[in-house]
Structure 1
Amino acid sequence: MKLAISQLTTLRWSTEEDVEAYRRHGFSAAGLWRPKLDELGIEKTAELFAENGMSVSSLSWAGGFTGSDGRGHDEAIEDAIEAVRAAEILGADTLIVLAGGHNNHIHGHAMRLLRHGLEVICEEAALTDLSIALEPIHPGCGSEWSFVGDIETTLDVVESMPESNVGLVLDAYHLAMNINSQEELDLLENVLPMVRLVQLGDARQTPLGEQNRCLLGEGRVPLQELITMLERSGYDGYYEVELIGEDVEPLPYEQVLQHTRAYFEDRLARMQ
């Protein structure tokens, strides 16, 4: 298993602190958050990761093509192109894309804006090894960030792209919370060829309001069943842990990383 930690998990730390702690806890890759990247700079971040033998599992995020964050469509595309170029320098595996909220657009127009923006950045990334991954966000906690909230809509978008370097992010927090049967798990298995990144987060309640994730294994998300299915089906990408919200905010980051490492060691032992 290729394990990574999202920098959102250790939001208050600097990138230098992230790298030191992630390595010490046995994680060899990280999902980078662009505000932290801006603080240290692209070149220095790339050097830091190379010097420490670490990889970049993802860069988060580009998109917002509907203008819901206050930017115009063209401005969002320009920013996304910058993100593609940054990801290439960093050797990132995946660039995460968020659609943007509806922003008073009718659904059809919002979809056209998303498809156009996604097509442009997929073309920009076509000559690199970078994957572009659209992330559906649970409507209960992120409608202002993305009007795309389910696998079916996400697949409709990515399968309409002319380039083959685009897929989706399978975030367990957003997509696997309410899986209650093997049949529902099988539906996720059917989309695996389009999965570019798996993000793991647990939660005690269905998303509502702000994201609120808890330590892995302490919530209701069927993580063990999901990971077992992914491994059985030959998924060979990153498992990137993203833990944010009021349930984990009071916890020392060292405790969060230690618990996450122990969780994976236990799961790996069970699968052998």
Structure 2
Amino acid sequence: MNADDFFPRSSRKRSLENQEQTHPKPRPQMDSMSPVALRLAISQMTTKKWALQDDLDLATELGLLHVGLWRWKYEEETEQRTADLLEKYGIHPSSISFIGGFTGTNGYLLEDVMAESKNVIRYASWIGASTIVVSTGERGTHIQKHVMRVVRDSLVELADFAAEYDIHLALSPMTPSTAHGWTFITSLRKCREVIEQCNHDHIGVCLHSFHTLQERHWKAELRPLISKLKLVRLSDGLTASKPRKQCLPFAGKMNLAAMLDFLESNGYRNLYEIDTWSDEVWQCEQIEPFQKCLQEIITNFPSAPDQ
């Protein structure tokens, strides 16, 4: 996936005149909702072609309380309208994606990147999003030491700023085959190196199952990062080994159940987002595949220790 398709270059404001009246659909009663569903969100990258209100309707019908916001969508709707819709639906943002591009390989000036990122942090504080997902930018022609210094200094400056708002930044490692245009963090080990270099309480990890489960020793590499996990994103692959295409969680052949069990047994208690980047899923206009996905996650989710 091309990073330019997911990073807004500038805010695309749309007139609020003649906007349709919003009528949120009834939400299931809290006491009838699955405890697992209370920790789940739907990422707006999964429903790439849907409007924001459609995403909120979907979350409501699925009985979810959270949506992972994507900047393309909320900036198109305008920040104020997005905040109003979230409040009207009673939906909480699980995260905002993405800030970053510190290395300049996408054509961004670092000064602009930093100013834009701070604006996103302010907005996250306004709407109650505690996690912002970061994509560093790829290495390009820079030497590794220079890239690490630029990224470290940028992250620490932003993390200091984010700490004032009680916001956390989450680095998102990707596989080498998918990281082009996105990041030089292509393994959990590299992610840990950046985390250790930054040494900041407000810098952590956004783990993605599609990328994580392609690492041969993912459990050993992940264990030291458990305490730094701010968010976990769930997707599946059409094959068990080195899949090229993503699909909705538990619609493929990757061992998601093992990852969920590992995370929960090692104390992870934060949110999960359904986050699938797939042309087939992006063409979907029905709720049924998402209902099936939710049920599969609930069915395969490990039982609480006291059960």
What TM-score comes out, normalization by structure 1 length? 0.91
Secondary structure class of the residue paired with 1:62: strand
Where does residue 16 of structure 1 map in the other structure? 53
> Is the contact between residue 66 and residue 102 of structure 1 (CA under 8 Å) also seen in structure 2?
yes
Secondary structure class of the residue paired with 1:170: strand
Q: 1:69 to 1:184 in 2, by over 3 A?
A: closer
* Residue identity in the other structure for 2:230: R
> Is the contact between residue 102 and residue 154 of structure 2 (CA under 8 Å) also seen in structure 1?
yes
> Shift in Å at residue 178 of structure 1?
4.3
For 2:58 and 2:218, locate their aligned partners in 1 and report how far apart those are by CA, in whole Å. 37
Residue 104 in 1 paired to residue 137 in 2?
Answer: no
Where does residue 204 of structure 1 map in the other structure? 238
Where does residue 104 of structure 2 map in the other structure? 67
Residue 140 in 1 paired to residue 186 in 2?
Answer: no
For 1:207 and 1:84, locate their aligned partners in 2 and report how far apart those are by CA, in whole Å. 34
> Shift in Å at residue 141 of structure 1?
1.1
Aligned counterpart for 1:84 among listed residues 117, 121, 125: 121
* Residue identity in the other structure for 1:224: A
Matched residue count: 266
For 1:7 and 1:217, locate their aligned partners in 2 and report how far apart those are by CA, in whole Å. 19
> Shift in Å at residue 113 of structure 1?
1.4
Residue 195 in 1 paired to residue 232 in 2?
Answer: no
Residue 233 in 1 paired to residue 270 in 2?
Answer: no
- Segment drifting more, 62-71 vs 103-112: 103-112
Secondary structure class of the residue paired with 1:13: coil
For 1:204 and 1:149, locate their aligned partners in 2 and report how far apart those are by CA, in whole Å. 21
For 1:164 and 1:71, locate their aligned partners in 2 and report how far apart those are by CA, in whole Å. 27
For 1:138 and 1:33, locate their aligned partners in 2 and report how far apart those are by CA, in whole Å. 21
For 2:303 and 2:243, locate their aligned partners in 1 and report how far apart those are by CA, in whole Å. 29
RMSD value over aligned CA atoms? 1.9
Residue by residue, what CA displacement relative to the aligned partner does 1:59-105 show, whole Å, maximum 9, x if unpaired?
00000001111111111111111111111111102000001011211
Residue 5 in 1 paired to residue 42 in 2?
Answer: yes
Percentage of identical aligned residues: 29
What TM-score comes out, normalization by structure 2 length? 0.81
Residue by residue, what CA displacement relative to the aligned partner does 1:215-260 show, whole Å, maximum 9, x if unpaired?
2223232110111121222211110111112343443341332122
Where does residue 150 of structure 2 map in the other structure? 113
Secondary structure class of the residue paired with 1:59: strand
Flag structure 1 segments of 5+ consecutive residues without an equivalent.
none
Residue 263 in 1 paired to residue 296 in 2?
Answer: yes
For 2:85 and 2:178, locate their aligned partners in 1 and report how far apart those are by CA, in whole Å. 34
> Shift in Å at residue 18 of structure 1?
0.6
